[in-house]
A and B are shown apart, each in its own frame.
Chain A
Amino acid sequence: MSSLLDIRGLVTSFDTDSGWVRAVDGISFSVEEGKTVGLVGESGCGKTVTAMSIVDLLPKPSGNILEGEVNFKGRDLRKINHSEMRKVRGGEIGVIFQEPMSALNPVHRIGKQIVEIIKIHEKISSRAALQKAVQLLDAVGIPAPETRISSYPHQLSGGMRQRVMIAIALACEPDLLIADEPTTALDVTVQAQILELIQAMQQKLGMAVLMITHDLGVIAQNCDEVVVMYAGRIVERAPVRELFANPCHAYTKGLLHSIPRIESERKSLLNTIPGQVASIENFVSGCRFCQRMDRDDPVLLRQRPDYREISPGHWVETCPQCHQT
């Protein structure tokens, strides 16, 4: 059986003052129907660029996909034309962004923004579309949807705005929801509400979710599979329990050990990953985590490590230094 979304060898590059830089440098992973895949990594690791590459929302003209395939339901999204892409985006693939305030149009009432989406994808009268919008707001837990539909985004709280974003993303019952840091801007109690809502809608619609986050707690509690990105590449990919129980890449281990936990001893020093991510124009072609660790073995820094499946579903970049079992 083929996957719902299957990304192979994706390379996305940006034209900058210092030449072309590869923000995403040859990554492959897949999302199965109805499953939740978490994409985790630090800022600048390419996780958002990956998402934007899938739905063709890269900033033009600087951002370009150079290589690879984005297979969605068996067809390569890179090969379809602009108007077909518009049908996929918002129709079969819904997207929610981190900051709902900048993703919603501030000068239109939220009802109008939902109706707009529905009418692009369905042949439906304005009145019926408005009715559907009210139902959607109700489904995402907005109280008094009939009156809220004529609110402007600024009249809603952050949590409510994110609910509106979810309503828009789910308007056409997509098969895949891409959620880019959906709860990062929200408070913990509201975050719990939104994650609960995404899970409930996922079960109702049977859709798959690609959840982009930097929060390992969110990953652990919500995802079936995890993809760990570092400096434009996937360093490890595994089912969630396997990844937390048996991390095999030094970077994954470092991340898991450096987060403060409720049960850890107070005021004890945390484990840290030394150094910092190299800036994108200085990325080496070899192992980029070795670069951070200041290992000056020229072979490690020159030769890209193999990305291999070491046990069923568990993939890791097998750099001789960073791959540790």
Chain B
Amino acid sequence: MNPDPAKLLEIQDLRQHFPVRGGVMMKQIGAVKAVDGVSFHIDTGETLGLVGESGCGKSTLGRSAVRLLNPTSGDIFFKGQNLTHMSQRGIRPLRQDFQMVFQDPAESLDARMAVGELVAEPLIIQGIGNRVYRQERVAELLDRVGLPGNAAGKFPFEFSGGQRQRIGIARALALNPDLLVLDEPVSALDVSVQSQVMNLLLELQRDFEMSYLFIAHDLAVVKHMSDRIAVMYLGKIVELAPADTIYKNPLHAYTKALLSAIPVPDPTAKRARVVLAGDVPSPINPPAGCAFGHRVNHPKYEESIGQELPFEEISPGHWVQKCPCCLA
């Protein structure tokens, strides 16, 4: 399919498999299908939320989408340009337009570099400006993300978790990107700091008209940040819809279970909780049919075996994976 020029990022049938090797000769004996046939797009200025449980492939999808990994198959179009088969060298100049923020700022920031160097690094790599310009730009960025002016000379360990995440955000902003992939950006933070960082991201999006791919496991956080939400289960998107729709009218059984499992901060709310049995199956050896039907031992699971489960648009903008066991 040809890319739609109006879409900032368009992903078509993306697959990211990792080989599993074993035996004496270390031959490939299987594959972890971390992302297994996923399609979505992100419009300019829009936030797409990506939720799912650990191991469902959401982080891999985020990395694959910005070519931090080499996808197994499928297509990635950014501003109409196909990134899928470009060399890393060829992609580098394009990376100005899409940047990534990681979950744990303590691990993603080089502990031996001062904050000023960390934030200036993307500018140096892209060969932008001279020393004086970069110094000014760093000061401007640190101010924008709410860090004190003297932060540039300090090291990451001198900052709290929330401030370190601000450093990570300043670094991602340095090149004025159009798209930020945010991989669990607030998961490691305390409640009161989490809301500060969420507000910062909302303000930055408004000011710079950026698009976000917002990956998280906390559904209340994702709902608050996103325009549309994609729910992932074992390497596939099972449901994708506008944020309000997914909460008011979830169609897939997994989405329903996920929503009912969120503990609501209101002691008077009494809800019917769908408690799921079992764990997410291993992506090395996924069940033959619908992965979720298998987990809940659905009576109609057998019907899904060997079938291609189509991802269809049921109402405008509301996509769901069609399978005999998960759609009531």
Contacts and interface: CB of A to CB of B under 8 A. Distances in A.
B221 interface: yes
Interface in A204-232: 214-222
B196 interface: yes
A272 interface: yes
Contacts, number: 131
A186 B56 CA distance: 13
Interface residues of A, number: 45
Interface stretch (B36-44, B167-175, B254-262, B307-315): B254-262
B91 interface: no
Contacts of B217: 187-188
B279 A217 contact: no
A216 B191 contact: yes
B244 interface: yes
Interface stretch (B68-76, B77-85, B93-101, B264-272): B264-272
A36 to B, nearest CB: 12
Interface in B268-305: 268-269, 273, 275-277, 279-280
Interface stretch (A7-15, A27-35, A262-270): A262-270
A42 B202 CA distance: 23
A241 B220 CA distance: 21
A75 to B, nearest CB: 33
Interface in A245-261: 254-256, 258-261
B162 interface: yes
Given A187-B53, A269-B199, A272-B199, A261 B275 contact: no
Contacts of B53: 187-190
B202 A217 contact: no
B202 A267 contact: yes
Interface string B193-225: 111101100110000000000000101110111
Interface stretch (A52-60, A129-137, A191-199): A191-199
A217 B263 CA distance: 4
Given A42-B191, A188-B261, A276-B160, A220 B224 contact: no
Interface string B214-243: 000101110111110000000000000001
Interface string A160-197: 10000000000000000000000000011111110110
Given A215-B263, A217-B263, A240-B267, 8 more contacts: A187-B54, A189-B275, A191-B263, A220-B267, A244-B266, A262-B220, A266-B223, A266-B243
Contacts of B267: 220-221, 240-241, 244
B265 A42 contact: no
Contacts of B221: 260
Contacts of A193: 275-277
Contacts of A196: 273, 275
Contact of B269 (A159, A195, A220, A256): A220
Contact of A220 (B163, B202, B220, B265): B265
Contact of A188 (B193, B219, B226): B219
A7 B79 CA distance: 62
A203 interface: no
A267 B225 contact: yes
A262 B244 contact: no
Nearest to A141: B277
A221 B266 CA distance: 7
A259 B275 CA distance: 24
Contact of A270 (B224, B258, B262): B224
A86 to B, nearest CB: 34
B216 to A, nearest CB: 11
A262 B226 CA distance: 12
A216 B220 CA distance: 12
A269 B191 contact: no
Contacts of A254: 192
A160 B279 contact: yes
A270 B191 contact: no
B273 A220 contact: no
A258 B224 CA distance: 12
